[in-house]
Amino acid sequence: MPYNNTLSVSQKKLLDLYGHRPELTEREMAKLVGFKYYNYVSTVKANILEEKGYLAGPYHYIDLRRISTPPVKRLLIFIMFQKSESYDFMIRLLMRIESWSFFYPLQESTFNEMIVGIYSTDHEKITSIFDALVDHGVIHYYSIYELENNLCTVNPRFFSERGDETEYDSPMLSLDNAYLEQDFSSEEGKFKLSEIDTRLLMYLQSGFFKGELSKIMKHDAKLEDDGGNRPFVWGYNSWRYSYEKMVKNDIIRKFYLVYPLPKHLCSYFFLILKGRGLEETKRLAANIGAGIRTLISGSLVRSLNNEDAGDVYWCAHIRSHPMFMHRISSLLDIPDVSNKYVYHCKSVSNHNNDRYPVPYMNHYTEQSVSLESRYYDKSTSKLSYDYDGYKKKILDIVESMAKP
């Protein structure tokens, strides 16, 4: 019997609420959707929306720029390496950079290709590591970009703003909200973290226990240090206070991912493009996917490459109907686009069973920003990484492999 992916009207309405009003309580959602009992919201969420692959989360964005001096920045690095080097080897090697964020394999052609995310407090030292890997022939080529602002996720809509059902309605990004230039380079606006704040931020960013504070509290209370002590025992009210404090100060923001199709049926790709100027780039970003049901997580990024240093691009991770992915290159053959790159993802399914016959994505991995005491000094709000030490470890491995 074929698997039924269809959704009812009330289920589509609930998806729109999770996608665009995640701050609502279950009681508020139930009233807006028309459910008689509010606890039916969680039942539909778990047994239908998540089970069918339409909904994932909650997750939390963290404004990393405001928790450390110097501010933590995110780097996206696209690398190409010889097929003789496996993804597993390359990931294990680059994990020596302890501030790594994620590794995302791409569809290879002549070379294996991958996106590497890194939390950075010193771009020059990160760049020197990759330059050394090119010099030693470990990677063939890389391009590097810095996220200008926090990521902005735009979920698809299953109903239009007017409330009528549509299969093809998707809101345009708000340029003012999504790509507003912000400057957190001064001390003004910095947020001082307590011990419990650092613990909670790492859990929330990784999606641990879906952010359920009671489960996080119980887990953290069981952790022991080298001396057999349990240093992270706080009551529920302390966890709740930390969470609400960081929400109030715009350090964290909750969001869900709403897929336009069941996620095993979506196509996944990264798009990097640049217009003839910054305003044209913003305008293009605001219109990508408009009129088509897509899930887009994007940000303006600044090139750190020698050939176009300082140029601003828009980089987005897009999940869409496969037809849109295959048409995107031709759709962007317009004068307003001065440069574009499309990177197709290698394998994205988290399923490996009869219902979802898509290869498991063995090589994707991610971690939260590291705020443990060996990296983060709470008294000075300074995050430090030993990039020189990471580079030495990497080159020691590379040079040992080259010996006969």
The pLDDT value recorded for residue 267 is 87
Judged by average pLDDT, the poorest of 151-160, 230-239, 240-249 is 151-160
List, for residues 240-286, the tens digit of each pLDDT value: 999 999 999 989 999 999 999 998 888 888 999 999 999 899 888 88
Task: List, in sequence order, every residue forming a beta bridge with 315; answer none if it has no partner.
Answer: 272, 299
The pLDDT value recorded for residue 188 is 46
Residue 125's pLDDT band (boundaries 50, 70, 90)? very high
C-beta separation of 67 from 381 below 8 A: yes
pTM metric for this prediction: 0.85
Flag whether pLDDT at 150 surpasses 80.
no
CA-angle at 17, arms to 291 and 327, nearest 5°: 25
The pLDDT value recorded for residue 177 is 42
Cβ neighbours for 294, distance < 8 A, ≥ 6 positions apart: 156, 170, 260, 288, 318, 319, 320, 324
What CA–CA distance (Å, rounded) separates 176 from 181? Answer: 9
**Can you tell me the mean pLDDT for 134-139?**
94
Q: Please give the helix or strand (H or E) that residue 257 lies within, else none.
A: strand 252-258
What CA–CA distance (Å, rounded) separates 215 from 232? Answer: 14
The pLDDT value recorded for residue 404 is 53
Percent of the chain at pLDDT exceeding 70:
86
CA-angle at 98, arms to 110 and 181, nearest 5°: 80
**Can you tell me the mean pLDDT for 34-53?**
93
Torsions phi, psi for 271 (to 5 deg): -125, 130
3-state secondary structure 237-282: HHHHHHHHHHHHCCCEEEEEEECCCCHHHCEEEEEEEEECCHHHHH
List, for residues 356-400, the tens digit of each pLDDT value: 333 344 556 788 898 988 999 988 889 999 999 999 999 999 998
CA dihedral sign, ordered 17, 21, 22, 24: negative
Across the chain, mean pLDDT equals: 84
**Can you tell me the mean pLDDT for 232-246?**
93
The pLDDT value recorded for residue 110 is 85
The pLDDT value recorded for residue 262 is 92
